[in-house]
Structure formats: structure tokens, C-alpha cells
Amino acid sequence: MSSLPSQRIVIVGGVAAGASAATRARRIDPHAEITILEKGPAVSFANCGLPYHLGGEIADRNKLLVATPELFWNRFRIRVRTHEEVIAIDRESKSLMVRDRSDPSTTLTQVGYDKLILAMGAEPVLPPFAQQPSSNVFQLWTLPDMDGILDWIKRSKPRRALVVGAGFVGLEVVEQLHGIGIEVDLVERSATILNRLDPIFANMACNALRQESIFPINAQSVLEFIKEGDRVTAAVLSNGQTIPTDLVILGVGVRPRTKLAQQAGLAIGDAGGVVVNEFMQTSDPSIYAAGDLIEYTHQITQMKTLNPLAGPANRAGRIAGEHAASGKSQPMGGVLGTSIVRIFETTVGMTGLNEKYLDQHKMPYRTAIVQATNHASYFPGATNMQLKVLYEAPSGRILGAQGVGGEGVDKRIDVLATAMTLGGTVYDLARIDLAYAPPYGSAKDPIHMIAFTAINDLQGHPRLLPPSADLEGYQVVDVRTAKERSELPLPGAVAIPIDEMPEGFSKLDPKLPTVVVCHSGKRAHIGACRLQASGFTQVFNLTGGMSVRSQIPST
């Protein structure tokens, strides 16, 4: 009795989603004929590690090669064809037209499929001012991009570089170039670096650059390059400023590679990505898509969104591979955009929604901010962090979170992302049983402290005001020490150091709305509770205190 023919699963693209899809499909179906078509020279490489090889932090280039074609074949019997570009999909015949990029003179070949998985990812945006090729202008997206930058640095020994775009890649490149002795200018067209951060936290993150004498030029765009021959020597900004440079690296964002899908008639969503269902099937059930070219469902809003991050791409690829191989899998679920970046000695993390999105979509929210240490403050090496949570009232459902500081920011952002994925509230955060020993955390972890602070706000013990609140019309009580007040003045406030309460209450009018302020919000909470107990009915705590309010960016 003859066996049924093996199904043919073809994956277009490798790296995160494609490689995950292929290996998962193999584990599910040991008999399938699985082929990866990759137009580049490497099928699976650590895209996120590229900036760190520029500065030598990852010294060995081979460490960036996650898996080779030989490994795919020897271990998984997955055939990898590099330098093979798919130029068309014929859905009716279930076949692909493929061009050999290593030899353009060869004729096109046809590759048939039973199930097709598109994993071409995203491509970096090339802005208008950089449309003409220049020998010293680069993007950093692939291994050849990285090799080109390193070759230029080796040959030309640039003294000064211009990085355009202050997103994750741009900031990582700034850090690495600075580390090898190149003076770096950073230009960002948004008002702040990392524009997914709320402005105050973005300014905190920016301090990490300023400490290294790097002063980002925000709210400015590059209008044009000044060139000598094929080499850029300077950039002209929208404010008229001219910045000389020996090297330019562009990091102005990415867009999904949807051209192939569009030409095949697959549905493209309003966010600009390929439309997929919860199992990564496109509008053609035989064709799947995964990774940076698709639209994900946002965990909080349930709206479709682009989310060009490696973690979700790997998970989406795994689901696509399993469903293509077996017809079933767990659903993808939502994404939160959880992300993190190191800026020299500072860690910056975020997840979920920010104030800008919530304001634009008229979604009511509350905010709480705490300053805490990554582990017990009395144990050597404790570092500070600022942690912010945005949440609904009165439910306490967590909508977003941000953190800036030293060690331990990643842990807290991951805990918050986990809680949000499970639909958690700040009340749930307060109940989480976290590991504690002095080298690792505190008995009251920053997660617990931010939860307690938010719960106090929701229950009116007391309510919180955001750090950027207009204090006009409030009776402002400053409970800091005289030294603290001199370092960060708060004009118009009534000074009553916390240890002089309640004796100093005679200076206050209990009928006025009153906000209590200290350095971080901890002493202000004590002072506000005392005022409430003394008959003051409209009492607020300025969340984050003056240490956060002082970070409001100047306009």
C-alpha cells in the first residue's frame, strides 16, 4: 500500500519568523518537504545583535549566525536556498517564481507548495534626503549592512558620525560608536528620543546620553546632505543648522515588506501589514504570514497594529509552522509592544499604551510613579529606578508601564507585561508573590510599591496628581528639607518639613484643594494622609515628586 505524498511547506524568508516556522513545522510533521527561500546570504542571524558587533562588544561575527543551511539540513532535514528571491506567487497553481540573486543571468525557476509561509519581515525606511547612494551613508538591518559600516570605519577612520533616528537601533548604534571613540551627533524628528515613552520618562532616558556628552537634537529633521563626490560631509537640518560628519547611519524606522503579498492579492490591513487570523492564515487559507510584515492584535485595545519586534515574530512563526503542518495550533493572542534598550548605564523599558495614545483615543486613565531600588537598599550595589504604571479607574486594569534606571528594570517590565497579558489590575500586582532576598529584591518590591501607590489613588488615600499637573489654584505643601528645596525649588509652596507636621498645619487653609509634594512621593503620601485625618477633604499627592517633575522637558 503506497503512502500518501509528503506535503510541501515553503517558507519565504528566514531570520526570526521564518526559521521558527520551519523548525516547528518539522517537529510537528517529520515527513513534510520543507524549504526555506532566503534572498540574503544568511538564513538565520541575530538581527538585534548587529549594533553590538559594531563596537566590538560581540567580538566574534560568527556568534551572530544563529543557524546555517548545513545545520538546518543535518539536524532538521530542512532545505535552505539562500540568494533565492521570490518575485511572484501564483495562488491558482500554488507555485512561486524564484530568481537566483547570485546569478541574475539564470532563468526563473518555479517552486510548488501545498502550504506557503511568508516571513519576509520589514525593511528600513529610506528617507527622501538619502535616496541618492553615498559611500558613507548606511542603514543597519542585515549582516552585509553591518559589514559595510565596519569596512568604512576601518578604511576611513571617521572621527565624527551622524545617527538619524533615536529609536532602539539608533540609540544602540550611538552607544557603540561612542564606545570606539567616534564623536556622535543624534538627530530625531520627534520631540523626544524613544517616542513611545511619555515625555518625562523620555527625558530621563535622554539623561543617559547627556552624561556621555551626547546632546540629541530633537524635533528636527534632516533636509539634505552636503556631498563631496559620493561622500556626505554634512547634513542640513530643518532649523538651518549644518552638522559636519564623516559617517551617517540611518535609523528612521521600518515598514512591512508587503509587496509580494499585495501582488498576490492577499488582504492588507489599515495599519499597513498583511491581514492574518489568530493562526497566522492570510486571506488565502493555504498561505500564512508571520513576523514584522503582519498586523497583530493589540492586547489592550484589540485594534490591529504593527509590531516589529523579535519576540512576537518568533512566536508568530512557531504558530504558523505548526498550523501549516497540522491544521491546528494555539492562537497567537495579543501583543503589548514590550521592549527594552540599554543606553550606556541606563536601562529603559516599556510595555502597553502610553499617555499620547490614551489621550488621542480619549481613553480615561490614571498614573502612578514610584522611585525604588532594584534590590534591598542596604545591600551593596543597589541602583535606582523610576517606574510608571497607567491604569483604568475604578477597575485598576493596567494599560501600560514604563521604567528607567539601572539593573532590574527589565524584571519589573516583564512582570507588568505578564500581568497585562492576563488582564491583570493593580490589585493583582499587590498580591503577586515575588522572590525576595537582599541581593535580588526588596520585601516590598518596586512592583508592590507601584501597586500600593495606584491602589491608594483609586481609593482616595490620597488621590494622585500627575507630575506635570498645573498647580495653579492648589495650596501646595512642600514637605522636603531646606536643602532639597534649595536644590529643586517649587515657587509658591508652603514649606512644612514632614517631621514638623502636624504642628505646621496652622499655616494651611483646610478648605482649599491641597497637593503635597516631596522628592519622590513617599513623604508626601505620609503628609497627605495626615492632612486627610485632620479634616482636609481635597488632598492630593504629586506622584513621583520633584525628582520626576524636574524632568519635564523644556519647550
Q: What angle do CA 99, 103, 109 make, to 5 degrees?
A: 30
**Cα 59–chain centre separation:** 25
Which cell numbers in the block locate residue 530?
495626615
Nearest to 545 by CA among 200, 202, 282: 200
What is the Cα–Cα distance from 427 to 395, expressed in whole angstroms? 9
What is the Cα–Cα distance from 466 to 464, expressed in whole angstroms? 7
**β-sheet bridge partners, residue 376:** none
433: exposed, middle or buried (C-beta count within 10 Å: 0-12, 13-18, 19+)?
Answer: exposed
- What stretch of H or E contains 16? helix 15-28
What is the per-residue DSSP string for 159-194? SEEEEE--SHHHHHHHHHHHHTT-EEEEEESSSSSS
H helix runs in 362-508, sequence order: 409-421, 426-431, 446-459, 482-487
CA-to-CA dists, residue 275 to 40, 279, 288, 460, angstroms: 25, 11, 10, 44
Which cell numbers in the block locate residue 406?
539601572
CA-to-CA dists, residue 26 to 8, 20, 22, 81, 317, angstroms: 11, 10, 6, 17, 13
**Of the residues 48, 206, 518, 529, which is catalytic?**
48
Strand-strand pairing, 514-517 and 475-478: parallel
Which cell numbers in the block locate residue 541?
499627592
358: exposed, middle or buried (C-beta count within 10 Å: 0-12, 13-18, 19+)?
Answer: buried
Contact 204, 551 (CB under 8 A): yes
Contact 167, 251 (CB under 8 A): yes
What is the Cα–Cα distance from 278 to 332, expressed in whole angstroms? 5
Which cell numbers in the block locate residue 38?
532566503
Which cell numbers in the block locate residue 72?
538546518
Q: Does residue 48 have an active-site annotation?
A: yes
Residue located via cell numbers 522572590: 435
Catalytic residue positions? 48
